[in-house]
Structure formats: C-alpha cells, structure tokens
Structure 1
Amino acid sequence: METHPRKGMLIMETPWTHEIPEPSSCAGIWRRIASLPGELLVFLILIAAMNLHLLGIGTGHPWIYLPDAVHSGEWWRLVTHPFVHVSWYHLALDAGAFWLLYKNLDEKRAFRKLLIAIVCGGAGLLGAVLFSADIAKTGLCGLSGTAHGLMAYAGLEMTLPRRSRRVGLVTFLLVFVKSVYEAATGTVVFDFMHMGLCGSPLAICHLGGVIGGVVAFGFTLLKIPGRIELSGTSMVHPCKLPKHNIAQRVYETRRCRQ
C-alpha cells in the first residue's frame, strides 16, 4: 500500500502473478518412457510383464528357465527367464544394476549394446547349465549374471581412456575376483544380507556373465571395424601412439579406416 504523491490517496498494491500450470507427473513419466531407446523400452515391457506375480497376478513359474521344460519345447523360457524375479527386493537389486550399467555403456550403437547384453546373459546361463546341478530343481531367473557381465565389460571399457584406466582396472578386478570366489565356494557374497529375498542364487552364473563380458569386449575391440566412440576421448593418429599401447593402436586404426 502507498500514498498517491498529489492527492494523498491510498492505493492498494496487488501483485499480479500468472501461474503456469505444470504438467501432471503421470504425463511426464509417460513421455520419458516413450522417449527411451527401442531396446530399453522392450526391456521395460518384459520386466513389467514377467513380474506381475509380485502384484498378485498369476505366477512367474511359466517364465523361469527349467531345463526339462525347455527340452519339452518351451523355448520362450530362454528369453523370459532373466526378467523374472522372486521379490521386489530382488527386482530392484538386479534390474536396477542391469539398467544403470546397460544405459551407461560407452558403446552407443543399439544393436551392439544389445549383443553385448545377450552374450553376457547367455554365458551366465551356460555356466549354470554346465556346472550347477541345482538348476534342474530350482530353475534360474534374474538379471544378476547379465549385470555381472556388463560390469566386467564396463570396467574393461574404462581402461581405454588413460584418465579412467586405473578405475576401470579396479572395477574389473573386483567383479572378477568376487565371481571367482562365489563360483569356488558356491556362496554369493553378502548372501546373508538378502534374507532369502533373492531365492536360491546360482553363484556360478555370475562368473559365466563375467566371462561373457570379457568375450564381448574382446570381440568388439578387435573384430568389429569402427569400435565404440568413447565420450570425451580426443582422437590421436595411431602412428603417434606408443608402440606398447597395442589395444589403443588397434582402436584408433579402425576408427581411421571408417
């Protein structure tokens, strides 16, 4: 409120505000989901569909990997079993790790990223089938084997730029040593903390996933022309690189040929 300078009148000040209506949170969530890359959208749909039993709808049994069922012709279990989880805790732990690792790989080409995930998951399944007698009784589900493989791949991926080489090496060694220990003892590290909410984990599938990650990294590094485009990595002519840095020389040489 103020006084008019000439007439001594009181004038009420009423601030004028215009509130822009915010879009509903649901609409924002749907837009973010719709903007996901194609393969991540498929993963999200599969994760939602394969875990309806956590909401009390149906059961996850028709989707988990069971050797006898697959031999009987139920081949879809090969595709669906990684996306099934036994509890909300199991889902958050495995699917959360898988989502973050997959989404943040330096490899940006969708087909190659999908191939990397398939190799990691397939190697984890193969390890369990070959070396775990319990798989016939308990079956196999969950994304932990694939997530271990992606972590191994991500660690090796970080060893290419010099600035992150040490972190990448430590990351890879941690997941590798952890997986070897679990395979040797048959016990998952920190299993006592899960309180049975992850079912009966088959530890060998973690090492299988790590081996799959190593194989996928070696394949993409040495066999595919036009290796990954590393974010923030400056291009250097391969002839100017140190002779001992063979991996980087191969990487840059293939980039120059594109």
Structure 2
Amino acid sequence: MDTDRLPGCYRHPDRDTGITCARCERPICPECMISASVGFQCPECVRGGSGTGHTAAANAPRTVAGGIVAGDPVLVTKVLIGINAAVFLAAFLVPGLAIQLELLGRYVEYWGAPVEGVATGQYHRLLTSTFLHVEWWHIIGNMLALWVIGGPLEAALGRVRYLALYLLSGLGGSALVYLLTAPNTPTLGASGAICGLLGATVVLARRLRYEMRPVMVTLVLMLVVTFVPFGGSWSVSWQAHIGGLVTGALVALGLLGPATGRRRTLIQWGTCAAVFLLAVAVVLVRTAALT
C-alpha cells in the first residue's frame, strides 16, 4: 500500500487532495472547497453555518480564488465550447467569413482583392481568431482540451475570473503571434487560450500543493506538440501557445495569491488590467512597425 498517497476528496474520491475542511476536516478538491475567513470549508459545513439576509450574502460560498460558487460550476466552459462550435459552423456555411475572423497582421490577396488585418485597425481579429477553426479535427481536439482543462479550473476560480483568464490568455497568445510572425500569415484556433488555462492549472496545483507530476506531464506534452514537427499540411503556432501559456500563468498568479478580502480583489483585477495593458502595448508596438 502506498502510504504517501494523498487522500481523495470526500465527494470525489478519485481526486487526490492535500486540502481539508477547516470545520469538519474532510478532504476537499478545488471543485468542493469554499473560501472561509480561515482556510476552506466543504459545501455541507457552509450550508450548515449560513445565516440569512445580508449575513448570508456576505458568507456566500466562495471558490479558492474568491469567486461565487455557482450551481453549474462548468457553465462558462460549456458556453465557450458552444461559441466555438457556432463559429465553426458559420465559417463552413458562409463563404469568406473565416478570412474576416482569422488573425492577420496586415493583408493578403483574396479572390484578387486585398483583405486588411490588425495593422489597419481590425483589432477584433485578435480575439475572433481564437474562436475560429476550419478543420473538424482541429476544433474537436481543442474542445476536448478545453473541457478537460477548463472545467476543473472554472470550478476552482469561479465564472467571472475564469472567463477573464480565458479571454486574456487568448489575447496574450494573439499579441505574441502578431508581434513575431509575418504580417500576411493567417493564424486561428483556441489553442492559445487553452494553453493559458494549462498555465493557470500549473499555478493552481502549486498553490494547493497538489501532486505536480500529472500537470507537468501535460505541460511537457503540450510543448512537444508545439515545437516538434509532425509533418502534414498544417503547422502549430508556437507563438500562440507560448504567449497564451505565459499570460495564463501571470493572470493566475494574481488570482490565486495569498491576499484576502478587498486587497485580494484589488490584486486580482489589477493583475488582469496590467496583463491587458501589456498585450495592448505589444499590439501597438507591432502596429507602429507595420505602418
């Protein structure tokens, strides 16, 4: 018997955890842990200790990042998958839509006419490209990764913080692509944002003192896919992967810091604002160089 193995969550026995409820001391995973004034509590202890009116609102169940615990802890992930699927279908049905949404630095010739890009003011491409896929295997692979990585992370962070992390990771990946690739190279896909979620998962696992080997193996596999050529007519944008990974890790460091109360909220949204402004600065520098 492996005596060094961490106990399983009392609600999800297959999830090892080193965190216990501050009241009943049952082991709890990120999906079940709720921030309390001291440590974390399980859902049963929070329900048993909740008051009414303003007190109940103040003591509402919170995630490890301070977000409100939602009835459906993976709703945003489902919505993101739905948006990606809808854009994929629209690009398939509407000729020319994909080239209007993909990340393009300056312009390309499309049916004899130039298509403009970010450098000419079409900044929407930095985010619309992260919801665009034109191959079935591409969207299936990315959506499976989004479900596997994003679901637990959304439960741990809460909806608003998770959505901010996802969008900023996608933006960070696009900003690095825009900075380092040729201006007429089209780029698309959700992998930059998903790599950001992976970077945040590394920070979360470290913060909660989880077993790091599974997370690190996943990270290594992502880097192998990013940098090792496997042939074929497609190529992986390492700029999107690395940009998203670093952005996600930076945002997660702010979201999962040790601070509490109003100071924690200030640090969290201050970090998000700083990362956003950094991405904007990168975009503006590249635009100035292309115009």
Q: Normalised by the size of structure 2, how large is the TM-score?
A: 0.53
User: Separation in 2 of the partners of 1:98 and 1:131?
Assistant: 25
User: Separation in 2 of the partners of 1:39 and 1:78?
Assistant: 20
In structure 2, the CA distance between the partners of 1:38 and 1:125, relative to structure 1 (3 Å rule), is: same
CA shift, 1:84, in A, is 0.8
In structure 2, the CA distance between the partners of 1:76 and 1:100, relative to structure 1 (3 Å rule), is: same
Deviations 1:186-221 (A, max 9, x none): xx33533xx33xx33321221111111220121112
In structure 2, the CA distance between the partners of 1:56 and 1:175, relative to structure 1 (3 Å rule), is: same
Matches within 5 A, 1:133-148: 133=182, 136-148=183-195
User: Separation in 2 of the partners of 1:72 and 1:95?
Assistant: 31
Deviations 1:123-167 (A, max 9, x none): 21122122222xx222221011111121121122112333x2333
Structure-1 residue corresponding to 2:207: 160
Aligned-residue RMSD, C-alpha = 3.0
Structure-1 residue corresponding to 2:247: 212
1:58 equivalenced with 2:75 (yes/no): no
User: Separation in 2 of the partners of 1:118 and 1:203?
Assistant: 18
Match of 1:75, SS?
A: coil
Name which of structure 1's ranges 149-158 and 69-78 shifts more when overlaid on structure 2. Answer: 69-78
CA shift, 1:175, in A, is 5.9
Stretches of structure 1 that go unaligned for 5 or more consecutive residues are: 1-34, 183-187, 228-258
In structure 2, the CA distance between the partners of 1:219 and 1:142, relative to structure 1 (3 Å rule), is: same
Q: Structure 1 stretches (4+) deviating beyond 6 angstroms? A: none
CA shift, 1:40, in A, is 3.7
CA shift, 1:96, in A, is 2.1
Structure-1 residue corresponding to 2:230: 191
Stretches of structure 2 that go unaligned for 5 or more consecutive residues are: 1-71, 107-116, 263-291
Tell me if the contact between 1:148 and 1:209 (Cα under 8 Å) persists in the aligned partners: yes
Match of 1:159, SS?
A: helix
- Percent identical among aligned pairs is 23
1:131 equivalenced with 2:180 (yes/no): yes
Of structures 1 and 2, the larger Rg is shown by 1
For residue 162 of structure 2, the aligned residue among 90, 97, 113 is: 113
In structure 2, the CA distance between the partners of 1:73 and 1:57, relative to structure 1 (3 Å rule), is: same
Tell me if the contact between 1:128 and 1:204 (Cα under 8 Å) persists in the aligned partners: yes
User: Separation in 1 of the partners of 2:149 and 2:171?
Assistant: 17
1:97 equivalenced with 2:137 (yes/no): no
1:81 equivalenced with 2:129 (yes/no): yes
Tell me if the contact between 2:127 and 2:174 (Cα under 8 Å) persists in the aligned partners: no
Structure-2 residue corresponding to 1:221: 256
User: Separation in 1 of the partners of 2:141 and 2:171?
Assistant: 20
Question: What is the total number of aligned residue pairs between the two structures?
Answer: 179
Tell me if the contact between 2:201 and 2:215 (Cα under 8 Å) persists in the aligned partners: no
Tell me if the contact between 2:102 and 2:187 (Cα under 8 Å) persists in the aligned partners: yes
User: Separation in 2 of the partners of 1:115 and 1:122?
Assistant: 10
For residue 105 of structure 2, the aligned residue among 41, 49, 67 is: 67
In the alignment, residue 167 of structure 1 is paired with which amino acid? R
In structure 2, the CA distance between the partners of 1:61 and 1:104, relative to structure 1 (3 Å rule), is: same
User: Separation in 2 of the partners of 1:109 and 1:166?
Assistant: 22
CA shift, 1:169, in A, is 5.9
1:170 equivalenced with 2:216 (yes/no): yes
In structure 2, the CA distance between the partners of 1:172 and 1:87, relative to structure 1 (3 Å rule), is: closer
Deviations 1:98-133 (A, max 9, x none): 232112215241110011112221221122122222
User: Separation in 1 of the partners of 2:120 and 2:151?
Assistant: 35
User: Separation in 2 of the partners of 1:80 and 1:219?
Assistant: 26
In structure 2, the CA distance between the partners of 1:53 and 1:102, relative to structure 1 (3 Å rule), is: same
CA shift, 1:48, in A, is 2.7
In the alignment, residue 66 of structure 1 is paired with which amino acid? L
In the alignment, residue 185 of structure 2 is paired with which amino acid? T
